Amino acid sequence: LDHSVYDKWYGMGGYLLTKDGKFSAVYQNRAENDGHIEIINLTDNSMRIIDRGSKARLAQDNRHLLCMIRPFYKETKEAKLKKLKGDKMPKDTLCIVNLYTGNIQKFPFGKKMEVAKEGGNFIVFESRIMNDSLKRDGVFVYDLTKEAVVDTLMNLEAYTFNKRGTELICLKKVVKEKG
């Protein structure tokens, strides 16, 4: 063995197990390559792979896996070589996987994600809204029971759930009007 084989080895970046023991998820990464998350149904040994998945966590309902899908390593490396900044850099995508149905929802330009520490059926995440050539960052409230975005909040500086996930606490940005 020599140093050339290191890029081919996978490193285990994390492991998750649902409370009922029916699903596990393993994050694997390579040195200069795109990693993935393996979601394993431990009752029938079936497996689903989320390519380029990272930062996996389980929602409090233990029915949903939340993760970020990174841009291709090659795209990110090229953008860095071109010295692109901010909005010009490739962005992550938020991925929400229903472990029991296999339903996957993806939200491009995903950023910060919040879940309650001890309960609740909601997650909140930042993303980008694009309509009619208007680009605005928004905070989306996602209901895990409905598997849908139920609200969009604009101009927030900070946000968090209370411990049980029954309330969302927000700090609104002061937006100065032009004129």
pLDDT digits (tens, 9 = 90+) for 33-56: 678 899 999 999 999 999 988 888
Average pLDDT score, the chain: 83
Sheet containing strand 113-115, strands side by side: 113-115, 122-131, 134-143, 148-154
Band (pLDDT 50/70/90 cuts) for residue 163 is confident
Is the predicted pLDDT of residue 19 greater than 60, yes or no? yes
Is the predicted pLDDT of residue 71 greater than 90, yes or no? no
* pLDDT, position 153: 86
What does the pLDDT look like over 168-179, one tens digit per residue?
988 888 877 776
Q: pTM to 2 decimals?
A: 0.80
Task: Name the amino acid, one letter, at 124.
Answer: V
Which residues make Cβ contacts (< 8 Å) with residue 92, sequence separation at least 6? 68, 69, 70, 71, 109, 110, 111
pLDDT (mean) for 54-69: 89
Calculated CA dihedral for residues 91, 56, 168, 151, nearest 10 degrees: 50
The answer to whether 94 and 107 have CB atoms below 8 angstroms apart is yes
pLDDT (mean) for 119-125: 85
Give whichever of 22-31, 38-47, 147-156, 165-174 has the largest mean pLDDT: 38-47
Burial 21-51 (b: 16+ CB within 10 A, else e): ebbbbbbbbeeeebbbbebbeeeeeeebebe
pLDDT (mean) for 143-161: 87
Mapping DSSP to helix (H, G, I), strand (E, B) and coil, where does residue 81 land? Answer: helix
Spell out where the chain has E strands: 10-17, 23-30, 36-41, 47-51, 53-58, 64-69, 93-98, 104-108, 113-115, 122-131, 134-143, 148-154, 156-161, 168-172
Instruction: Measure the CA–CA gap between 124 and 127, rounded to whole angstroms.
Output: 10
